[in-house]
C-alpha cells in the first residue's frame, strides 16, 4: 500500500518539473540588430521587426470552437 503514495508523489513531482519548463520565451526586436536571426533571444540577434519575430514562433491559442484546431 505504501508504493501507491510514493508513485503519486513521483508523478506529481515530474508533472511540476515539466510545467516549469513551459515558460514563455522572450523575443528581442531591435531595428539596428547587427546579426538578426532566430531564436531572437539576444540583442545581437534580435529581429528587425515584430512580424519577423512572431513568424518564427509557434503560437498556440484557441478561442471558441474550431473544428480544424490542433489538439
pLDDT tens digit string along 25-39? 788 999 999 999 988
Q: Is residue 64 part of a domain?
A: no
So what's the pLDDT on residue 2? 57
pTM passes above 0.75: no
So what's the pLDDT on residue 18? 57
Is residue 41 predicted with pLDDT exceeding 70? yes
Q: What is the largest CA-CA distance in the chain?
A: 63
d(CA 15, CA 18): 5
Q: Is residue 35 part of a domain?
A: yes
Q: Is residue 9 part of a domain?
A: no
d(CA 48, CA 31): 4
Query: Total domain count for the chain?
Result: 1
- Please give the residue range of the domain that contains residue 55: 25-59
Contacts 24+ apart (CB under 8 A), 60-66: none
The three-state secondary structure class of 29 is strand
Amino acid at each position: 500500500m505504501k508504493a501507491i503514495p510514493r508513485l503519486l508523489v513521483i508523478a506529481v513531482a515530474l508533472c511540476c518539473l515539466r510545467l516549469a519548463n513551459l515558460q514563455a520565451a522572450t523575443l528581442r526586436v531591435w531595428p539596428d540588430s547587427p546579426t538578426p536571426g532566430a531564436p531572437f533571444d539576444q540583442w545581437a540577434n534580435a529581429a528587425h521587426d515584430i512580424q519577423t519575430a512572431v513568424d518564427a514562433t509557434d503560437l498556440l491559442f484557441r478561442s471558441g470552437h474550431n473544428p480544424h484546431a490542433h489538439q
